Amino acid sequence: MSNSSIVFHRQELAQKLVHQILTVSVGSAASSGVFLAAPRRTGKSTFVREDLRPAIESAGAIVVYADLWANPNADPASVIVGAIRAVLAANDGVLLRLAKGTGLNKVNLGGVMNFDLDRVGLGELVSLTDALVALSDETQKMIVLVIDEAQHAITTESGITALFALKAARDELNSSLHHGLRIVCTGSNRDKLAMLRNSKDQAFFGAPMVNFPTLGPAFIVWFCEQIDLPFKLEPKKVWPLFAEAGYRPELLGSAADMFRFDFELDVATAPDRYADEVHRLAEEVNEVQREVIHSLTPIQFAVLRVIAASAKTYAPFETATMDKYRRAMQLAGIPNADVKADVPGVQQALIALQDKKLVWRAARGVYAPEEQSVVDILTEDGLLQGLQ
């Protein structure tokens, strides 16, 4: 599975989405964009690159793809601007248009019009709206901007600015003068993605949230056929393993790796050992996280549980929330004399929880569990009871 050229294609799903993305009527909430949510490592990016992008292009639209996770240290705004510049760069007509429009036309040695793409960006001479309008008018095509792991955009102020710039561009391009702009955002966590659309001051207010379907039984049939092992895997047996592995293809692939160099393999017992290995790997992932959770200090543990229990309504320093931290500590069996929560303590705990990759912070002080699996573990272990 590590070989990315081997991919199970999901063309039907791509067609359905393309239809939804390209045909929404202007003015409907869907013209604000579409949000696709599915857990980490379940195949969103693979689908976007291998199936969705080609399907949008064959439907006659232009795709601008920005992956905000490809380089976690890059500023999300520069990634988005960079993706737009790259598409402009590939289109001489658009460059000419931009050069003329800005009076920045220089003729280089080859006699070709030169336009400096550094002039396109936030706070630059050519705004994202100008750039996308030029692209739309020149190509007469709809533009679909796909932002992968879009929640990263709201972890920096410039990322938030970029989203507002895109909102402006979308409103302009969706007017009858141009050919339309659709924005498709993917993300690993519904709560985080929801922050991009839940409040009126957010760039994608009201955009529909779609649960992106995880890979289904057809993928497992394909997987069992193409996996090169000295014994046969039965799709019927692998499917429940896949569900248990949180629909993450990599776990199935890693479990198979164990058998590749086993030269004295007992073919009769191998399928059962394969199942054991998938169980073990699935457990291992959770165990690592569970250990981190159970080694937290009492206040960190309390803050984490309150965040997980309150979801969108979490307000870190409100009196009622402070009471909840205390309650969480009591429920954890901390002796009353040691039950204590104050603002500096909570602030420190929030920072520690971010460092431990359990909690995620948006630029404006909004917090969410880093991953759904954190909430799942807490729920499974009964640690959210009494806090909702």
Specify the residue, 251 or 349, whose C-beta has the smaller distance to ligand ADP.
251
* From the list ligand ADP, Mg ion, none, partner contacted by residue 25 (C-beta under 5 to 8 A by kind): none
Q: How far apart are CA 139 and CA 147, in angstroms?
A: 21
**Residues that bind Mg ion in the complex, under the rule CB under 5 A:** 44-45
For the bound state, the minimum distance from the C-beta of residue 74 to ligand ADP, rounded and expressed in Å, comes to 17
Binding partner of residue 339 among ligand ADP, Mg ion, none, CB cut-off 5 to 8 Å per kind: none
Closest CA to 316 of 342, 280, 285, 281: 342
Q: Which of ligand ADP, Mg ion, none has residue 41 at its interface (CB below 5 to 8 Å by kind)?
A: ligand ADP
Residue 148 Cβ vs Mg ion, minimum distance, rounded to whole Å: 6
Question: Closest separation between CB of residue 40 and ligand ADP, Å?
Answer: 5
The minimum distance between CB 194 and ligand ADP, in angstroms, equals: 18
Question: Which residue number, 180 or 249, has a Cβ lying nearer to ligand ADP?
Answer: 249
The binder of 33, among Mg ion, ligand ADP, none, by C-beta within 5 to 8 A per type, is: none
Cβ distance to ligand ADP smaller for residue 42 or 136: 42
Euclidean distance between CA atoms 36 and 16, whole angstroms:
13
List the one residue out of 370, 371, 364, 319 whose CA is nearest residue 346: 319
Find the residue with minimal CB distance to ligand ADP: 43
> Which partner, Mg ion, ligand ADP, none, binds residue 43 by CB below 5 to 8 Å per kind?
ligand ADP
Cβ-based nearer residue to ligand ADP, 14 or 21: 14
How far is Cα 259 from Cα 273, in angstroms, rounded to an integer? Answer: 9
Beta strands in the chain (DSSP E): 34-37, 62-67, 106-107, 113-114, 143-148, 181-187, 209-211, 359-361, 367-369
From the CB of 220, what's the least distance to Mg ion, in Å?
Answer: 21
Provide the b/e sequence for 172-190 (b: ≥16 CB within 10 Å).
bbbeeebbbbbbbbbbbbb
Binding partner selected for residue 4 from ligand ADP, Mg ion, none, CB under the kind-specific 5 to 8 Å limit = ligand ADP
Contacts 24+ apart (CB under 8 A), 255-263: 255/281, 256/227, 256/229, 259/229, 259/230, 259/231, 260/229
Residue 249 identity: P
Strand arrangement of the beta sheet that strand 34-37 belongs to: 62-67, 143-148, 181-187, 34-37, 209-211
Minimum Å gap between C-beta 45 and Mg ion is: 3
Q: How far apart are CA 206 and CA 303, in angstroms?
A: 30
Q: By beta-carbon distance, which residue lies closest to Mg ion?
A: 45
CB-based contact 42:245 (threshold 8 Å):
no
Which residues, including other chains, have CB under 8 Å from residue 3's CB and lie 6 or more apart?
Answer: none
Kindly list the residues in this chain that would bind ligand ADP in the complex (CB under 6 A).
1, 4, 7-8, 38, 40-46, 249-250
Please say which residue, 38 or 154, places its beta carbon nearer to ligand ADP: 38
Residue with Cβ nearer ligand ADP (8 or 115): 8
Q: How far is the CB of 167 from ligand ADP (least distance, A)?
A: 25
